[in-house]
Amino acid sequence: MIDLHTHTLLSDGELLPVELARRAQEKGYKVIGITDHVDSSNVDFVIPRIINACKDINKNWKIKAIPGVEITHMPIELIKSTVKFVHSIGIKLVLAHGETIVEPVIKGTNKESLLSGINILTHPGLITLEDALLAASRNIYLEITARKGHSLTNGHVVKMARMSGAKLVLNTDSHTPENLITKDFAEEVLLGAGLDKKEIAQVFKNSEELVKAILKS
């Protein structure tokens, strides 16, 4: 199981990064992305702490922890500069909080995020075909999510990905221990989103592909 979207108490999660990773390892995770919410108010505080925690995890445990961030509810004019800044201080896994229908995300966030060099557009809601085509052209992954509420538009995201050729990944957006899932449950989420078995296998391969690219960069 690879999960590249989780949160700790460094933003709005419940657990320390090391405890989150430990619990994930017990669930059968091989790789976890620790991607706390950031904006200009906390980005310089959160990132060094995530990086340090991931170093400890990777040195001592079998699970691989990747330090990342989720740029969240930022003015769209600041997304590109924030992506550039987090890259400059050691972050390689960059997520952008997409236009989920259960939060008042600024319209245009999906497109601006896709133009800004992110890795994953999380819970992109009712993403347009134009934006899905943009994701495909830039090799940016669209997220199928196991998170309650955000998952309401998984079927639409799958439809847009099929039409555009955009790549999909499955993440949990975990905030609590209970949000972590097994690979079997992940497969059920993907089935529920309308994917067939061949497509589900490709989603898991996409996550592996992205991890390899991040670790090489």
Digit-coded pLDDT (tens) for 80-101: 999 999 999 999 999 999 999 9
Rounded CA-CA distance 210/4 in Å is 9
Rounded CA-CA distance 202/197 in Å is 9
Nearest Cα to Cα of residue 103 among 152, 69, 142: 152
Say yes or no to pLDDT of 33 above 90: yes
CATH code of residue 155: 3.20.20.140
Total domains in the fold of the chain: 1
For 98-155, write each residue's pLDDT tens digit.
999 999 999 999 999 999 999 999 999 999 999 999 999 999 999 999 999 999 999 9
DSSP states of 42-56 as a string? Answer: THHHHHHHHHHHHHH
Question: DSSP state, 153?
Answer: G
Average pLDDT over residues 200-209: 98
**Mean pLDDT for the chain overall:** 98
pLDDT attached to residue 160: 98
pLDDT attached to residue 122: 98
Rounded CA-CA distance 137/149 in Å is 28
pLDDT attached to residue 217: 83
pLDDT attached to residue 90: 94
Nearest Cα to Cα of residue 95 among 149, 35, 51, 148: 35
pLDDT attached to residue 106: 98
Percent of the chain with pLDDT strictly greater than 90: 99
Say yes or no to pLDDT of 214 above 90: yes
pLDDT attached to residue 81: 98
Q: Which domain holds residue 42?
A: 2-216
What is the helix (H) or strand (E) element at residue 67, kind and residue range?
strand 64-71
